[in-house]
Structure 1
Amino acid sequence: MWTDLGYLGLFLASFLAATIVPFSSEVVLSGMLAAGGDPVLSLATATLGNWMGGLTSFWIGWMGKFEWIEKYLRIPKTKLEKWHRKVEGKEWWISLFCWLPGVGDIIAVILGLLKSNFWVSAVGMLAGKALRYVVWGLVTLEVIERL
């Protein structure tokens, strides 16, 4: 289905996979590569889509307010401020792990909620997501070549 839409489908699948929609964009990337898609364009498209999805999750967190967390989750604002100070200066390393299945989206939302440095977080997120797709793409191409 996604590969029928070509690179647009790959972009959309990668974008949605980086939000709260649970599915694997890696399978779509493998399908695109198996269908003869250009490896560089496929990796760039998947990375861009997934990165933009991660930035959307970051933005959703950014829109959150400490007061809401305090009210609905009963986490004191002072505790959130303490976590902000702990994260400060480590945004790049933390955002590097936004590619992780299951928890990566949560990391992006929390970074946004804690008002982490956007540019540092965005670059770290891009690096992690790109590295994941490059490794996945190389493995996929190796498997395809051996078949």
Structure 2
Amino acid sequence: MLESLTAFIVDYGYLHLFILSFLASTVLPFGSEALVIALVYQGFSPFAVVMVATTGNFLGSCTTYYLGLKGRNVLDRYLSPSPEKLEKSERLFNKYGVYTLLFTWVPGIGDVITMVAGLMQLSFRSFSILVFLGKFGRYLVLAYSVVLFNGGF
């Protein structure tokens, strides 16, 4: 069983990481951290793992942002965000501004932050830079933590 799981990871690691990272940045209850750790532990390039995970996660956030741009009716129809989370995200935006987007990787509220950025018609350029940097930083810390704890560098 462990051998087949290892083969599965090694054979399709980057593809699965991209898909899982993409899905994890939507409102679907997925996480990509375990696969990032497994790939780095299996000897995949930490930088490549970080870039694939970041790109997938970023593009998933872009879809949520886009739905937010389309308005509240589209969000309610496709994503059904809780009013409490939307309100909390709006308060964060009002208090901290666009820099809130650096925290779109935070489970539970990150996806809602991207929705609110769309609803607030935030420029895609600002959205892209801050979301990408936040997600990149998260995966970089995660991947290189595995390297450090594995005695590498």
- So what's the TM-score if we normalise by structure 1? 0.79
**How far apart in 2 are the matches of 1:50 and 1:102?**
15
Match of 1:72 in 2: none
**How far apart in 1 are the matches of 2:143 and 2:49?**
9
**How far apart in 2 are the matches of 1:100 and 1:7?**
23
The CA deviation at 1:34 is 1.1
Aligned structure 1 segments of 4 or more residues deviating by more than 6 angstroms: none
Amino acid at match of 1:143: F
Map residues 1-147 of structure 1 onto 2, 5 A cutoff: 3=9, 4-65=11-72, 87=94, 90-91=97-98, 93-145=99-151
* 8 A Cα contact 1:95 1:122, kept in partner: no
Unaligned runs of 5+ in 1: 70-74
How many residue pairs match? The answer is 135
Unaligned runs of 5+ in 2: 77-82
Amino acid at match of 2:16: G
What is the root-mean-square deviation of aligned Cα atoms in Å?
3.0
> What is the identity percentage for the equivalent residue pairs of Structure 1 and Structure 2?
32
**How far apart in 2 are the matches of 1:102 and 1:6?**
26
- So what's the TM-score if we normalise by structure 2? 0.76
Amino acid at match of 2:20: A
The CA deviation at 1:111 is 0.8
**How far apart in 2 are the matches of 1:143 and 1:60?**
40
The CA deviation at 1:23 is 2.2
Amino acid at match of 1:25: S
The CA deviation at 1:63 is 1.3
**How far apart in 2 are the matches of 1:140 and 1:53?**
25
